[in-house]
Amino acid sequence: MKKMTSLLAALLIGVIAGAFLFFGAVNLNIVQSEPEVTGKVVLRELESASSLISTRYNYSKVGKYENSLEINGWNIPLTDKFFILTYDGEALLGCDLETAEVDVNKGAQVITVTLDPVKILSNTIDEKSIEVYDESKNIFNPISVNDYKVFAQKQKEAVEDEIRSKPVFEEASANTVDAVTKILGLTDGIRDTYTVKVEFREGAGGDS
C-alpha cells in the first residue's frame, strides 16, 4: 500500500512537473517569437524616427537690406533706408516619409525602401540670434516690419541656392540611406534576418 501511495505521489509530481515545463516552454516561445515583418511595420519604425532621417545645414550670415521710395522707377532723394544685421539659421534636408514605399520579400529576406529624392523640408532663421549692427532712421521712409520679412525671405532663398551649389544633397542622400539601414537593423524581426536596401525615385530634389 505504501509503495502504491509512493508511486502515485511520484506520478503526480511528474505530471505537475511536466505541465510546468510544457507551459513554461510555450510561454518562452511566445516571448521569444519575433513580430511579423510587414510594410506597415517598417513604415511605422521609420516614421517614429523621422527626426533621425534628416540632415541639418546650419549657417551664420551677415545681411544688408537697402530700399528707397521711387517715382516712375526713379529713386526719390533723401528716402534711402537700410539695415545691416547678423543671424543664424538652419535648413533641414530629408525625404517625405508619407510617400515612402516598402517591399518585404520574405523569400529573399530583403526589405526595399523606396523614397522620393531628398529635398529641403524647412529653412528657418533663429529670431533670437538676430543682431542689428546698423540701421537708418529716415522719417520720410522708416523701416517697417514688412522690410524685415522681405529681407528674411530673400536671405532664405540665397541660402537655398548656396545649398544647391554644394554637395549637400548628395551628403543628405547618403545620410538618409545610412540612417534608414541602421534604424531598421535595430528592429526586432528585421535584425539578423533581412537585408535592407534603400532606393530613391528619379526626379530632382531641392524644393521645400
Instruction: Provide the residue ranges of all domains of the chain, joining segments of one domain with +.
Output: 1-33, 34-200
CB 117 within 8 A of CB 205: yes
Q: Which helix (H) or strand (E) holds 181?
A: helix 168-185
User: In this predicted structure, what is the pLDDT of residue 192?
Assistant: 85
What's the pLDDT score for residue 57?
96
Tracing cell 524581426 back to the chain, one arrives at 189
**pLDDT of amino acid 188:** 85
Q: Which pLDDT score, from 0 to 100, does residue 42 have?
A: 86
Q: In what order do the strands lie in the sheet with 81-94?
A: 54-67, 81-94, 119-135
Residue 190 and residue 195: Cα distance in Å, rounded? 8
Alpha-carbon gap, residue 126 to 13, rounded angstroms:
73
Question: Which residues of the chain register pLDDT less than 50?
Answer: 2-23, 25-31
Q: Which run of H or E residues covers position 160?
A: helix 145-165
Residue 138 has a pLDDT of: 82
Residue 38: φ, ψ to 5°:
-130, 170
pTM across the whole model? 0.72
